[in-house]
Amino acid sequence: MLYGEEVEIESVFLHQVGNKSLEDGCVFSEEPLKLNENIESAFKRYFFDSFNSNEVYHLTHDVDIKLNELYSYVTHIFENTSTLKEQSVNIARHLYRCSEHPNIKSGELCVALIRDCHLDGETLDAVGIFKSENKETFLKVLKDGNQFDVESDEGINVGKLDKGCLIFNARKEEGYLVTVVDQTNKGVEARFWSDEFIHIKHRRDVYFNTQNVLSACKSFVSEQLPEEYTMEKADQIDLLNKSINYFKENEQFNQEEFEGAVFRDPEIIKSFHTFNDQYADENDLEMPEHFHISKEAVKKKARVFKSVIKLDKNFHIYVHGNRDKIEKGVESDGRSYYKLYFDKEA
């Protein structure tokens, strides 16, 4: 996903947004920030460098998309860019209303009108909403002739965006196209950015489909199968490795082909069907039987497909390939062991 070197930041309003439960209040700027070439370059880095995921969302609402606050505010901006100041204040007030958890930090909120972004091969305008919560200390070197001195100050690290979203002027009827960053998403209070302030749902695309099927498969192998069958850890890892390898080696997902290549046993396949249907119902998903595989999604999900057997606190065995080369047994004294076969020591 690229946002383009030629992207133009047309205008930026900066507001201070506090924590509502602490009654911090807000401070609204009257004029847009003055952008010279150096400042705009720094803002481009700050605004865009953290958007490195291929996940795309839509704005949503439980009743009607028009009742989503951000949908209303950005629609006004896209239809009349002279309303950017007014709508940026509305966005800041909406964020303040959502900032009720005592752990939510106050910070600076930038609302920007951005031209010529690139997304999915299209050149689009976007409204960017960026919140800075964490300040960093930096040192400034002062020089007076041959004498040097330093002074410290606090500021925003332009290489690290705390929270942000880009709302692109496309697919309005579906809730626009949205990308999101949340670097401080630990704990219940952090979900306010995506769930309460922006209120988004995943775009149902190949990335989304690939992630969902891999997640369902991992849950089935790691949680469901051990309840139904006596299964060694090595056999579980073997199934996980076969699952992720299928997605790495194929361009298209075919459920019947996948099940035959990974599970093979008709009873396990039947169990997977039941689990898959239940997983889809519980997560309000559609699980297509055929779709193009997103290699970006496979790369991301592969990180959580753990191929390691942990033995007490002494050893970790990483299993990457042939299941036949690892064998489990029990000594006469009751101690368990693994026997590993290999051709060459690296």
Task: Report the residue count for the chain.
Answer: 346
- What is the C-alpha to C-alpha distance for residues 339 and 48, in angstroms, rounded to an integer? 50
Exposure string over 302-315, b if 16+ CB within 10 A, otherwise e: eeebebebeeeeee
Exposure string over 8-23, b if 16+ CB within 10 A, otherwise e: ebebbbbbbbbbbeee
pLDDT, position 255: 94
- 340, 234 Cβ separation under 8 angstroms: no
3-state secondary structure the chain: CCCCCCCEEEEEEEEEECCHHHCCCEEECCCCCCCCHHHHHHHHHHHHCCCCCCCCEEECCCCCHHHCHHHHHHHHHHHCHHHHHHHHHHHHHHHHHHCCCCCCCCEEEEEEEEEEEEECCEEEEEEEEEEECCCEEEEEEEEECCEEEEEEEEECCCCCCCEEEEEECCCHHHCCEEEEEECCCCCHHHHHHHHHHHCEEECCCHHHHHHHHHHHHHHHHHHHHHHHCCCCHHHHHHHHHHHHHHHHHCCEEEHHHHHHHHCCCHHHHHHHHHHHHHHHHHCCCCCCCEEECCHHHHHHHHCCCCCEEEECCCEEEECCCCHHHEEEEECCCCCEEEEECCCCCC
Q: What is the pLDDT along the chain (346 residues), one digit of tens a residue?
A: 445 568 899 999 999 999 998 899 999 999 999 999 889 889 998 999 888 888 899 999 999 999 999 999 999 999 999 999 999 999 999 999 999 888 888 999 999 999 999 888 889 999 999 999 888 887 888 888 888 888 887 878 788 899 999 999 999 999 999 999 988 755 655 678 999 999 999 988 899 999 999 999 999 998 898 888 887 888 888 898 899 999 999 999 999 999 999 999 899 999 999 999 999 998 888 888 999 999 988 988 888 777 777 887 777 878 777 777 788 888 888 888 888 888 887 7
Contacts of 200 (CB under 8 A, 6+ apart): 57, 58, 59, 60, 175, 178, 180, 194
What is the widest separation between alpha-carbon atoms in the chain?
82
pLDDT, position 5: 64
Contacts of 286 (CB under 8 A, 6+ apart): 204, 280
> Which two three-digit tokens encode residue 130?
């960026």
- 105, 19 Cβ separation under 8 angstroms: yes
CB atoms within 10 A of CB 265: 11
> Which two three-digit tokens encode residue 147?
């004498």
pLDDT, position 189: 58
> Which two three-digit tokens encode residue 126?
């976007």
The angle subtended at Cα 237 by Cα 234 and Cα 242, nearest 5°, is 125
- What is the C-alpha to C-alpha distance for residues 129 and 63, in angstroms, rounded to an integer? 24
Determine whether 56 is exposed, middle or buried from the number of CB atoms within 10 Å of its CB (0-12, 13-18, 19+). buried
Strand 26-28 with 177-182, pairing: unpaired
pLDDT, position 3: 55
CA dihedral angle for residue 200, residue 201, residue 205, residue 211, rounded to 10 degrees: 110
